[in-house]
Structure 1
Amino acid sequence: MIQIVEHAPQEGPYAIGAAIEAAGLPTRVCRTWAGDPVPDTADDLVGLVVMGGAMAAYEDFRGRSAELALLRAALDAEVPVLGVCLGAQLLAVAAGGVARPGNGTQVGWADVRMTEAACGDALFAAVPERLRVLHWHGDTMDLPAGATLLASCDRYPVQAFRIGGSAWGMQFHLEVDEAAVGAFADAFPQEAATAPGVVENASAELAVLARHRDGVFQRFAAFVTARAERTATRAFFTRRAATWEERFADDGPRYAAAVERLELRPGQGVLDLGCGTGRALPALRAAVGDAGLVVGIDLTPAMLTAALRQGRDKDGSLLLADACRLPLPTGAVDAVFSAGLVNHVPDPATALREWARVTAPGGTLLLFHPSGRAERAARHGRPLDPDDPLAEEQLRPALRTAGWDLSRYEDAPHHFLARASRIAGCGEPVVGNHVAENDLAG
C-alpha cells in the first residue's frame, strides 16, 4: 500500500497519482484537510507520498507531529518516500534538517539546475541539466547531514534532494498538470497575481515538461514496485526490533535445543537466515567452535542493530542481505538454520532453492519456530491453513524440488522443526568449500 498524505484539496498527487495507478500499486489517501488521522505506523506501507500545503513545516499544525513520526518510521524502514513542497520540508525535518522561512515568495515557471549527483540518481538521472518547473512556495530548508542535493536555483538553492537511497524531496511542483495549475491559482489568487502568465502559459510549459515529469514519477513507481516485498518486511520488523528481545526473552533455550538438532561439527560453516536479533548465534558458535564460520543474515537493519546491542556480533558476522538472493558462492556452507523465515519470504520455493545453492551436498537445513503451527494459528485467531508452506504436505515436495530431503518433521504443541539434507547432484554445481570468516567482515 502506498500512503498519500494531502494537506489541501487543491494539492493532490496529480501526475504522481497517475504514475502509481498505471503501475497497479494500491493507494490509501489521508486527507488531513478533511480531518483524516495520520497513520501511526509504517507497518503496511511500500511507499509514502507527502504533498504540499499552505502551512509552514517549522510551525505546529494539526497532524504535524504525526506526519514527522510517520516520515521517521518510513526512513528507518527504508520505505520509499516522495515529499513535495511542504512534504519535502517535513521530510528534511524528519531526517534531522531544519525548515525555515525563505527569501520571499517564489511563484511561477522558472528553471532549476540538476547537480552532478542527479546524473546517477534513480529518479533524476534522465532529467536534463536545466528543467523549467512550477515554483509556488515561500519557505525553504537546510538539509540534514548526509543528504544529497539533486537540483538547485539561485534564489532557493535546495530544490530537490535525496536522503539515503530511497527518500526524495522536491521543493518545486513537478506533479502539476493544467488542472493543478488552475486549482493553485484559484486557491491563492494573490500569489498567482505576482506571476503573470502562470496559468495562461501552463499548456505550453507543460508540453515541454510532461515527458520529464512523467519519467520521474514512473521511475518512482517502478522503484516502489521492485522493492515492495522487501519494503513490507522491513516496515513490519523495524518498529518491533527494539523490543524483540524483551517480547521473546524465554525463547533462548528453545533456540539452543533446536541448534543441537543440526548436529554441527567444529570447523563447519553455518548461516542463520532471518537471524533477527541473533538469538541462535551463541549456540551456533558453540557448536562450530572458534574455527567455524557463523553468519547471521537479515533484511532489516534495525534487527541487526538490535543484535549488535546484544553483543551477538561476538558470536558471528552480521550481514544485511536478502535471504532469497544470498551474496555467497555455491556450496559455501555446511548448514542453514532458519527460524520463522519461510512464512515471511515472498516465494518459499525460490528461497529453498537459494538455500540449497549455498549449501554443500550432504549439508543440513533446519527450519524452526518456537511455537507449533496450531499454537500460532490460535494466537492469531485463525484455523490451520492447509496451504501453509510449513504444512508437511506442502513442505516435503517443495524441499525435494529445491534439492532437499526431509528427514524429520515435528509440528509439536510448543515448537515446529523440520530437518532436511542437501541432496548430492541437485541444483548448481559446487565450486568450493565454505567461505572464510574474514571474507564476510564488514
Structure 2
Amino acid sequence: MAVVILQHTPGARPHALGAAVQAAGLDLRAYRAWTGDLPDDLAGVDALVVTGGPQPARSAADPTAHRAELTLLRGALAAEVPVLGLCQGAHLLAVAAGGAARSPSRTGNNWGPLGLTPAAGSDPLFATAPERPQVLHPDGDSLQLPARAVVLASDDRHPVQAFRIGASAWGLRFPLEAEPGATTADERAHTAPAAPDPWQERVLARFAALVAARAEHTATRTFFTQRAGAWEDRFAYQTPAYEAAVARMELQHGQTAMDLGCGTGRAMPALRAQVGSQGTVLGIDVTHAMLTAAARIGRTDCGQLLLADCTRLPLPPASVHGIFAAGLLDHLPHPHTALREWARVGSADATLLLFHPSGRAERAARHGRPLSPDDPLAEPNLRPMLHTTGWQLAAYEDAEQHFLARAVRAPLPHA
C-alpha cells in the first residue's frame, strides 16, 4: 500500500510531502503524469496526490486531456480514497467531482494571505492553520465547485482557494512546497523548496496521518466499491443459506437485529421476518457503494442502512438483541476489538452469529492455500477469543457447505 503522487512537472520533487508520508509509516510512489505514466487502477493505493503544472485551469478545462486522471479521481471519490489536489490537481479534482475549471485571462503568481472560512476551523487539515496564512496565489483562473464541496479558504480575487469534497478529498489551488522567492511555475518546479511554513507542514502531516489511520478502510472500500453494482446478482444463489443461518438466531418479534458488514443486505429480509414489523433491523457497512446498491434493490424496505465502522458502532450499550456477521470477523485486523464492541452494544441475552456460505477448508482450497492454524475462526482460537470479549460459544459448525458459530452474551471474565 502506498501514497501515489501524480506529477505534472518534470523535475518536481515532493520533499515535504515525502517526509510527511515517511513519518506516517507509508510508502510514496510517484508517476510521471506528463508522459502518460499512470497507475492502472486504485488497487494498493492508500491515497492519491495530484500536483500542479503550468497553466492549470486551461489544461484542466479540457477533460479529454486528462481522461485517465479524471477516471482515477472519480474512482477515488466514489471509494472515499483520500485525495490531495494541489494547483492543477485541485482543478482536476473539481472537474472530476462535477465542477468546472475556467481558463485564466492572464498568467502569473503572487504571494499573499488566505482568508479562512468558518468551515476551516473544524477541517481535519486546516484546523490549526494561522488566521491569514501566506501562500503563492495563481492569478486569473477560477473554479466552479460542485454543490457538495465545502470552501475552506479564499482571497480578495478568488472566492475559492481551498476546498473539501466529502470527508476524504481536498483541493488547494496553491502549492504547499514553494520557494518563498518563486513567482513562476518554472521556478517552483526546478528550485528545491525551502522548508515550508510550519502550518504547511502541519497540513501535510495531518493528511499523511489521516491516510495512515484510514488505510484499512480505504483498502476495503476500494475493493468493494468497484464490485458493488454486480454483488447482489453474483451471489443471489446464496440467499437460502443466509435465510437458514438467520433462522438459527431464534430472535423474537419486537427485538433489534443487526447485519454487520451487510454489503447489499442479503440477511436483512430474513432478520426482518424474525423481529417482525415492530422490531428494528440495521444494515451496517463501511462502504458507501455497497449501501447504495442495497438501497437500490429495496433493502430499505427491510430496515435502516448505516455507514459505520463495525469496531466503533454509533449505538448505545445493550441495545441490540441479534448480531449477524457473514464473512467479516476473519478479515478484521483486530478481531478482539470488534468482538468487544459487539458485546458492548449487545443486550444481556444477545445472540451473535458468525457465518459464511462455505466452510473454512473449501475457502482455503479455493484460494490455493492450506488452512492456517492462526485462523481466528478455528475453534481453538475462536472459543477463547469469544470468552475474553464477553461471549460464550454455544454452537460451532465447520462443514463443507457452510461455516457457522453461534455465541451468546456472557459476562467478561474479570467482571
| TM-score under structure 1 length normalisation | 0.86
Alignment of 1:274-353 (within 5 A): 274-353=261-340
| Contact 2:388–2:413, Cα closer than 8 Å, also in 1 | no
Distance 1:50 1:371, change over 3 A: same
Match of 1:76 in 2: 78
Structure 1 residue aligned with 2:412: 426
Supply the distance in 1 between the matched residues of 2:372 and 2:106 (Cα, whole angstroms).
61
- 8 Å contact kept, 2:256–2:321: yes
Paired position in structure 1 for 2:19: 18
3-state SS in 2 of match to 1:21: helix
Cα separation, 2, equivalents of 1:20 and 1:180: 25
Residues 1:109 and 1:389: Cα distance change in structure 2 (over 3 Å): same
Answer whether contact 2:178 2:188 (CA < 8 A) is retained: no
* Pair 1:397–1:407, CA change in 2 (3 A): same
Distance 1:366 1:358 in 2: 15
- The structure 1 residue matched to 2:166, chosen from 164, 167, 187, is 164
The residue that corresponds to 2:129 in the other structure is 127
Q: How does 1:39-438 map to 2 (within 5 A)?
A: 39-40=40-41, 42-54=42-54, 56-59=59-62, 64-136=66-138, 139-177=141-179, 184-185=186-187, 210-423=197-410, 425-426=411-412
Please report how far the alpha carbon of residue 339 of structure 1 lies from its aligned counterpart in structure 2 after TM superposition: 0.5
Correspondence for 2:3: 2
- SS, match of residue 340 in structure 2: helix
CA distance in 1 between counterparts of 2:176 and 2:256 reads 52
Letter in 2 for 1:19: A
**Helix, strand or coil at the partner of 2:218:** helix
> Which consecutive unaligned segments of at least 5 residues does structure 2 have?
none
Q: 1:341 to 1:163 in 2, by over 3 A?
A: same
SS, match of residue 48 in structure 2:
strand
Q: Tell me by how many angstroms 1:314 deviates.
A: 1.2
Distance 1:291 1:183, change over 3 A: closer
Structure 2 contact 246–267 (Cα < 8 Å) conserved: yes
Q: Give the Cα–Cα distance (whole angstroms) in 1 for the partners of residues 286 and 45 of structure 2.
A: 16
CA distance in 2, matches of 1:217, 1:97: 25
Q: Matches of 2:379 and 2:403 in 1, distance apart?
A: 11
Deviation at 1:60, TM superposition (A): 5.2
Quickly say closer, same or farther: Cα 1:125–1:295, change in 2 above 3 A: same
Quote how far apart the aligned CAs of 1:332 are. 1.2
State the one-letter code of the partner of 2:154.
Answer: S
1:272 Cα offset (Å) = 1.0
Q: Deviations over 1:301-332 (max 9, x none)?
A: 11111111111111112222111111222221
User: Counterpart amino acid of 1:355?
Assistant: W
Distance 1:179 1:240, change over 3 A: farther
- Deviation, 1:230, is 2.2
Q: How many residue pairs are counted as aligned between the two chains?
A: 411
Of 296-305 and 113-122, more deviation after overlay is shown by 113-122
Label 1:27 to 1:371 Cα distance change in 2 as closer, same or farther (>3 A). farther
| 1:223-267 residue CA offsets vs partner (Å, 9 max, x unmatched) | 222222222222221221111101111111110011111122222
Distance (Å, rounded) in 2 between the aligned partners of 1:216 and 1:118: 12
For 1:137 and 1:187, how far apart are their aligned partners in 2? 17
Structure 2 vs 1, CA of residues 427 and 240 (structure 1 numbering), >3 Å: closer, same or farther?
farther
In the alignment, is the contact (CA less than 8 A) between 2:12 and 2:189 conserved in 1?
A: no
Percentage identity across paired residues of the two chains: 58
Quote the RMSD (CA, aligned, Å).
2.5
Aligned counterparts of 1:402 and 1:183: Cα–Cα separation in 2: 57
The structural deviation recorded for 1:183 is: 8.7
Question: TM-score, structure 2 length as denominator?
Answer: 0.91
Measure how far apart 1:179 and its partner are. Answer: 11
Unaligned 5+ runs, structure 1: 189-198, 430-442
> Which digits, 9 at most, give the CA deviation of each residue in 1:171-199, with x for residues without a partner?
111223579989932868xxxxxxxxxx8
